[in-house]
């Protein structure tokens, strides 16, 4: 490469590959500039040589670390972004590209029971099985996103049957036992598939839709694949709207507790009650739990609502006792997050409930 200096002189500045006497190759940076006589005539060239072999090795190592997963050796998320970006750019945006996002089933259990060293080796072996299962497909590329997530990219593939066969071949390989450090490890995988351009024209859109399809595959029991459908996006958007509404409803006290008596059939005596959650929606009226309870159970306010239900039931029982009534047992429903740690234990602590009810 030649560059022109400010005074118009031509300076040579380039990197070349040279061979030593022993036959080894070195990277050398060359620089050259003209030499002038006192009269101003060019009388020669000044050369400078610098061995940059180690610097080039360090650069190559940094480049590899940036684009490849150090554990499995597979291209990483950054590589996936670049590859998909190139495939989706320009005229490539009109060509079909299949993306399959994989997630291992029960990988956390392996880490928790057998240790992270076995988990790491499992990921290495999984990566190898991806390669083995797709080696007959020249254009298929395998990536590891991180954790237990892997991705297949199949350029110029818009046929669901073809990509389905490729994905099933991988899933079948993953379903076979892994022998690691004298442990027989059994796992499996699920996959979500999105096909450009119908399912997305950008990298983020395509991966997001593949992730939605993966969610459907895991929800149906795992160890299978699902294709993205527009209804999946609509369902996610509906859940997001409902989550926001529930947060507002709790803040504005639209959630209500109704008490259903429990009656002993032999004599008709009231022996208890069940606290039932209802939503007094400002537009839709009284909503039964089936319309919102699944969303509420995974909402960030689930613990607050669960605690409020317990306290409300305690306060109601105390009020009935103050009126001379004997409410008996009161049953409540709890959310799964309340079983984590000692959350539920604190919420039902007798002294805590007693203070909430105004008793010493």
**pLDDT tens-place string over residues 246-290:** 999 999 999 999 999 999 889 888 888 999 999 999 999 999 999
DSSP conformational letter for 75? B
Q: Mention every residue, 6+ apart, whose C-beta is less than 8 A from residue 175.
A: 188, 189, 223
What is the Cα–Cα distance from 216 to 337, expressed in whole angstroms? Answer: 22
Cα(245)–Cα(287) distance, rounded to whole angstroms?
Answer: 13
Which residues are paired to 192 by β-bridges? 101, 226
First to last CA, the chain: 88
Q: What domains can be seen in the chain, in order of their start residue?
A: 2-59 (3.30.450.20), 68-228 (3.30.70.270), 237-356 (3.20.20.450)
Half-sphere exposure of 311 (CA within 13 A, CB side): 13
pLDDT tens-place values along the chain, 360 residues long = 334 443 545 556 677 666 677 777 777 777 777 777 777 777 777 777 677 666 666 666 666 667 899 999 999 999 999 999 999 987 767 889 999 999 998 888 898 889 989 999 999 999 999 999 999 887 899 999 989 999 999 999 999 999 999 999 999 999 999 999 888 999 999 999 999 999 999 999 999 999 999 999 998 888 999 999 988 888 888 888 999 999 999 999 999 999 999 998 898 888 889 999 999 999 999 999 999 999 999 888 998 999 899 889 888 888 888 888 877 888 888 888 877 766 666 666 654 455 445 443
pLDDT at 351: 42
Give kind and range of the element (H or E) at residue 226: strand 225-227
Give me the pLDDT at residue 347, please.
62
Report residue 278 CA to chain centroid gap. Answer: 33
Q: What is the pLDDT of residue 199?
A: 93
Please tell me the predicted confidence (pLDDT) of residue 80: 95
Structure pTM? 0.67
Which residues, 6+ apart, have CB-to-CB distance to 148 below 8 Å?
Answer: 103, 104, 107, 123, 126
CB-count exposure of residue 167 (10 Å: 0-12, 13-18, 19+): buried
């Amino acid at each position: 490469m030649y560059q022109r200096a400010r005074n118009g002189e031509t300076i040579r500045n380039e990197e070349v590959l040279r061979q030593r006497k022993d036959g080894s190759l070195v990277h050398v940076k060359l620089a050259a500039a003209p030499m002038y006589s006192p009269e101003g005539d060019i009388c020669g060239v000044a050369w400078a040589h610098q061995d940059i072999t180690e610097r080039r090795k360090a650069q190559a190592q940094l480049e590899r670390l940036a684009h490849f997963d150090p554990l499995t050796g597979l291209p990483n998320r950054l590589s996936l972004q670049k590859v998909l970006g190139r495939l989706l750019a320009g005229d490539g945006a009109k060509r079909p590209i299949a993306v399959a996002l994989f997630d291992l089933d029960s990988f956390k259990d392996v880490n928790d029971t057998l240790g992270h060293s076995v988990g790491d080796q499992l990921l290495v072996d999984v990566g190898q099985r991806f390669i083995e299962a797709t080696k007959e497909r020249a254009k298929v590329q395998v990536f590891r996103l991180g954790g237990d997530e892997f991705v297949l990219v199949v350029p110029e593939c818009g046929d669901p049957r073809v990509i389905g066969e490729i994905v099933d071949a991988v899933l079948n390989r993953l379903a076979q036992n892994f022998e690691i450090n004298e442990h027989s490890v059994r796992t499996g995988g699920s996959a979500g598939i999105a096909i450009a351009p119908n399912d997305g024209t950008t990298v983020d859109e395509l991966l997001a839709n593949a992730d939605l399809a993966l969610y459907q595959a895991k929800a149906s029991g795992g160890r299978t694949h699902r294709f993205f459908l527009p209804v999946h996006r609509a369902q996610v958007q509906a859940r997001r709207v409902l989550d926001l509404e529930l947060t507002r409803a709790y803040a504005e006290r639209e959630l209500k507790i109704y008490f259903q008596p429990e009656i002993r059939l032999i004599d008709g005596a009231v022996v208890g009650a069940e606290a039932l959650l209802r939503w007094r929606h400002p537009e839709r009226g009284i909503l039964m739990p089936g319309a919102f309870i699944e969303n509420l159970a995974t909402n960030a306010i689930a613990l607050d609502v669960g605690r409020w239900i317990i306290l409300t039931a305690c306060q109601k029982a105390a009020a009935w006792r103050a009126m001379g009534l004997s409410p008996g047992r009161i049953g409540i429903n709890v959310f799964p997050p309340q079983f984590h740690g000692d959350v539920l234990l604190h919420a039902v602590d007798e002294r805590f409930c007693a203070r909430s009810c105004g008793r010493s």
